[in-house]
Amino acid sequence: MNRLLITASILAALATGAAQAQVKVALDSPADLNGSGTYVWAHAFSTYLNEHGIEAEEYQRGALGGDDEVFDQVTQGLVEVAMAPLGITSSLDTLINGLRLPYFFSGMEQIDHALYDNGMLERINEPLLSHGVRVAGVVTVGPAAGIFNTRQPIASMADMADLRMRALDEAQIELFQAWGTTGTIVSWAEVPNALQTGVADGYLNPAFVPLLFGHTEFLRHFTPADILVSLRGAIVSEDWYSGLSDEDRATVDAAIEAANAANREWLGTQGGVIDQLREAGVEITELSPEARAEFQEASAVTYGRIVNEEELAAWQAAIE
């Protein structure tokens, strides 16, 4: 987005906020309560606030800038709440990257146990608060990620050899290398073009993503490899949060709890997504237990690239 337009959008939002004490909630996906877990969280959060005396408004994806721009605005207190990539805060501290370890967590219940029962969310936030941001919630965006591609069925790691996969970052490139294939970093906005022109042959994502973003026109194969629980973050401005009255902060905390509950309830409705992919013409290829074990063993060598030894030990202790 043109920076002048972004600035104009921010100034308009700030003017509205000044007049109405409005809480701005920046979305990261289409406003789809059936297909988007992050929208379920954001909508439940903003609805709770509006119903309890705090005005909140949702801003569509891109209206306030890209992920990095929105993150900067959150740290400066210009945007109060944003749905964001899980690792957006890792430039400040890398503990949160443990949630991106492939084949590490058994599911969302184990992640919630680590975050809330064993204090990992508090530990994640401790070094972030002085930088003006906190992670209010960890948001599931669907069942565990699998392998999508435009070219061929993937039934084993060997089938990946001649593919070039879209990578989120360097750590994911290393994961692809561990699997015997290659990756190229492509921004999400450029993914459709990359897949259609052959710059990339596929990506890792939960099953709903091509349906939500219209990618089933060119992604024809999916392997539900259960690589990792797909997560995003709900981040809030610490300047805004810490400046709330006790009563308003209690309302915001309750809104976060309501949003977490709505998001986890939504996850239980996603069992039919594979059938929707089939209806859209995507071929589903299951992994044998032996093939899954091969992917899991190869993936473990990348853990040291994602977190350090101390962080890995903390996550291991938190899931026990």
Q: Are 82 and 296 in contact (CB under 8 A)?
A: no
Q: Which domain holds residue 210?
A: 146-228+271-318
Say whether both 300 and 176 belong to one domain: yes
Say whether both 171 and 312 belong to one domain: yes
Domain CATH code at residue 62: 3.40.190.170
Residue count of the chain: 320
pLDDT reported for residue 10 = 53
pLDDT reported for residue 15 = 45
Say whether both 208 and 161 belong to one domain: yes
pLDDT reported for residue 222 = 98
Q: Are 228 and 100 in contact (CB under 8 A)?
A: yes
**Residue 234 DSSP SS3:** strand
| Overall number of domains in the chain | 2
Task: Copy the structure tokens of residue 177.
Answer: 């290398």
Cα 146 to chain centroid, rounded: 14
Say whether both 178 and 80 belong to one domain: no
Say whether both 154 and 288 belong to one domain: yes
Q: Are 95 and 124 in contact (CB under 8 A)?
A: yes
Say whether both 208 and 236 belong to one domain: no
Say whether both 122 and 250 belong to one domain: yes
Give exposure, 177-201, as e/b (b: 16+ Cβ within 10 Å).
ebbebbbeebebeebbebbeeeebb
Say whether both 81 and 31 belong to one domain: yes
Say whether both 110 and 186 belong to one domain: no
In the chain, the amino acid numbered 15 is: A
Say whether both 11 and 49 belong to one domain: yes
Distances (CA, A) of 59 to 64, 65, 91, 156, 317: 7, 10, 25, 42, 38
Say whether both 263 and 296 belong to one domain: no
pTM over 0.85: no
Residue 194, phi then psi, degrees to nearest 5:
-65, -40
Say whether both 132 and 45 belong to one domain: yes
What are the tens digits of pLDDT across the range 109-163?
999 999 999 999 999 999 999 999 999 999 999 888 999 999 999 999 999 999 9
| Selection from 215, 204, 227 nearest residue 276 by Cα | 215
In the chain, the amino acid numbered 310 is: E
Residues of the chain with pLDDT under 70: 1-21
Taking the C-alpha atoms of residue 57 and residue 126, their distance in angstroms, rounded to an integer, is 28
